Amino acid sequence: MQLSVLEKMKKELTLAGVQEGSRILAAVSGGADSVCLLLALSKLGFPVHVVHVEHGIRGQESLEDCAFVRRLCEERQIPLRIVPVDAPARACREGMSLEEAARSLRWDALTQAAEQTGIQVIATAHHRMDQAETVLWNLIRGSSVQGLGGIRPVRREHGLTVVRPLIDCEREQIEAYLRENRVSWCVDSTNADLSLTRNAIRQKVLPLLKELNPGAVRHIAAAASDLQDVEDWLRAGTEQAWDRVILENGNGRETDLTADRGALMKCPGPLRGRILRRMMAQCLEGEKDISRTHIQALESLAAGRSGQELCLPDHLRAVSEEGVLRLTRRKAEKTDLVVPLPADGRYFYPDTGTWVEAAYLTWPGGEVPKKKYTKYLAYDTMAPCPVLRTRREGDYLIVNASSGKKKLKDYLIDEKVPRFQRDSLLLVAQGSHVLWVIGMRISEGAKVQALSKALRVTVSGDTDLSF
C-alpha cells in the first residue's frame, strides 16, 4: 500500500534526525512542490518559518508569485521572510549560468535566515521527479558516481541539517494532495522553455521513459540511492588512501602538493581517480574547471617515466619526478649570474642564497675526504678561473678515465633531476667544463692528483639539492 504524503514526509524527517516540534525553515517559491511542503509540515506540527527568494528573473510573474506566498503565510500566520536578489547580475559578475546564480543566492538567503533566527533545520521541496531529472542531467554531462547519486535526502553543512521531506513523493501525488486540501499554487511559465535542459528532460525524456516502463522514475531514484551508498564507501576509502599517498599537502602556490607515485598507483582505479581529482581541486580551489580528460592525463603522467610535465588550468603544472607527482605553479628562473672564484675567500651566490668558501692549495696526496658539500677540485690553470653559475648550453662533465664527455643535460636526465629544477642547480665550472654539480657529482677531469694544484670548495646555505 502506498504511503501518503504526510507519512512519507514524516519518515524522511525521522531518518534525518529531525525531532518532533523542531523549528524548520522552509524554502517556498509558490510552486506546487513548495506549497505542499509548507502545508504538510504545518499539519505534522512543525513550527515553520518561510523564506521566499524573488530572483529578479521573471518580471511581473515573479512579483505575483511573491504576493501569493505572502497571502498563503498570512492566512496561516506563518512567519515569512522575502529576499529580493538579482540572479542575472550575479551570473554575469561571476561567470555562472543563470540557474547556478539563482541556486547560490537562494542558499545564501536560507543560511542567512537560519543564522538570524537560530533555526538549524532547512527543508526544500525536491521530490522524486527532481531526483530522476538530476540523475539524467548528470549522466549526460559526464558526471561520475557522486553526480549519479543525485539529490541527497539529507545533508549536514555548517551546523545545519538540510532535509528533502518530499524526496520519495511523485509529482502527481503532490498535486493530488493539494487538490484534496483545496490549495492552489503558482505555475512558472519558464518551465515550458524546452531550450533549458532540465525542462527538456522533464517534458520529453522522462515521459518517453515512463512509456517504456511506468516505474522508470521510481527505478532511477532507487538507483540514485544505491549510488549514494557507493559514494559514501568510496569517500571513506579516499580519505584513508589520501593519508598514505600525500607527502606534502599544499595548494600549488605557496607550497607544492606532492604525492607518492608508487602509493598512488597501488590504489584501486576508482580511488586513484578520486585522489587525483581532489589534488587538482585543492590547488584550483574547486572542481569547476576539472574534466575527466584532466584526470586521465594526470593518471598517465603518474604511471609514466620521470621528468615529464602536464599543463593544467590556472597555470598549474603537474610534474612527474622520481617517485613523486608534484602539482605546482613555481618555475625555476634561469639566471646568467656568474660569481668568479679568483682567490681564497668567501663568496655569495644571491640567487640561491649559497655561501662558498674557496681555498687554493697543493694536494699532498692520499685519500680525498668524502664530504657532500666540501670537494677538492683539480682545475686547468691555463683557463679562466673557476666560477659559480647555473647551467649553459654546451656544458659537459668528463665521466670516465678516458676523458669521455657527457652533456650536463643528459647527466641530469639520467639522474632524474626534475626539468623545472635543472636551471637553478648551482655549478662550479671552468669554461664549459663543469667541475662540480653542487650536491651531486664532480667531473672525472676534476679529480685531484698528488702534488697537483687544487681548489677546495665548501658550500653552505641553501644546499639541499639531493634527488
φ and ψ at 351, to 5 degrees?
-60, -30
Q: Are 190 and 29 in contact (CB under 8 A)?
A: no
Question: Which candidate, 139, 137, 133, 147, places its Cα nearest to that of 287?
Answer: 147
**Interaxial angle between packed helices 32-43 and 171-180, expressed in degrees from 0 to 180 and rounded to the nearest 10:** 60
Write down the pLDDT at residue 204: 94
Write down the pLDDT at residue 333: 54
259-307 pLDDT, tens per residue? 999 999 999 999 999 999 999 999 999 887 888 888 998 999 899 887 7
What average pLDDT does this structure show over 130-146?
92
143-158 pLDDT, tens per residue? 889 999 999 999 998 8
In angstroms, the CA 356 to CA 347 distance is 5
Write down the pLDDT at residue 374: 92
Write down the pLDDT at residue 306: 78
What average pLDDT does this structure show over 239-266?
93
Q: In a 10 Å sphere around its CB, with 0-12 CB exposed, 13-18 middle and 19+ buried, how is residue 74 labelled? A: exposed
7-51 pLDDT, tens per residue? 999 999 999 999 999 999 999 999 999 999 999 999 999 999 999
In angstroms, the CA 158 to CA 396 distance is 59
165-174 pLDDT, tens per residue? 999 999 999 9
pLDDT over 50 at 465, yes or no:
no
Q: Are 375 and 360 in contact (CB under 8 A)?
A: no
Write down the pLDDT at residue 304: 86
Between 429 and 92, where is the model more confident? 429
Write down the pLDDT at residue 406: 93
Q: For residue 451, what pLDDT band results from cuts at 50, 70 and 90?
A: confident
Write down the pLDDT at residue 464: 45
Q: For residue 463, what pLDDT band results from cuts at 50, 70 and 90?
A: very low
pLDDT over 70 at 462, yes or no:
no
Of 4-13, 237-246, 286-295, 429-438, where does mean pLDDT reach its minimum? 286-295
Query: Cα-Cα-Cα-Cα dihedral of 205, 211, 216, 218, to 10°?
Result: 110
Residue type for position 205: V
Q: Provide the 3-class DSSP secondary structure of residue 454.
A: strand
Mean pLDDT across the chain, nearest whole number?
Answer: 90
Which range scores top for mean pLDDT: 270-274, 397-401, 462-466? 270-274
Write down the pLDDT at residue 466: 41
What average pLDDT does this structure show over 228-256?
93
Q: For residue 331, what pLDDT band results from cuts at 50, 70 and 90?
A: low
What average pLDDT does this structure show over 104-110?
92
C-alpha pair distances (Å), 5 with each of 11, 130, 150, 172, 176: 10, 16, 21, 11, 10
366-398 pLDDT, tens per residue? 888 888 889 999 988 777 889 999 999 889 999
Between 197 and 220, where is the model more confident? 220
What average pLDDT does this structure show over 111-132?
95
What percentage of the chain exceeds 70 in pLDDT? Answer: 97
191-203 pLDDT, tens per residue? 888 888 889 999 9
Helix H, strand E, coil C: the string for 318-358 is EEEECCEEEEECCCCCCCCCCEECCCCEEEEECCCCEEEEE
Q: For residue 461, what pLDDT band results from cuts at 50, 70 and 90?
A: low
Domains and CATH numbers, the chain: 5-228 (3.40.50.620), 249-328 (3.30.465.60), 339-461 (no CATH)
**Interaxial angle between packed helices 59-76 and 32-43, expressed in degrees from 0 to 180 and rounded to the nearest 10:** 10
Determine the number of helices (DSSP H) and then strands (DSSP E) in the chain.
16, 21
Q: For residue 1, what pLDDT band results from cuts at 50, 70 and 90?
A: low
pTM of the model: 0.68
Between 290 and 206, where is the model more confident? 206
- HSE value, Cβ hemisphere, 13 Å, CA-based, for 43: 15
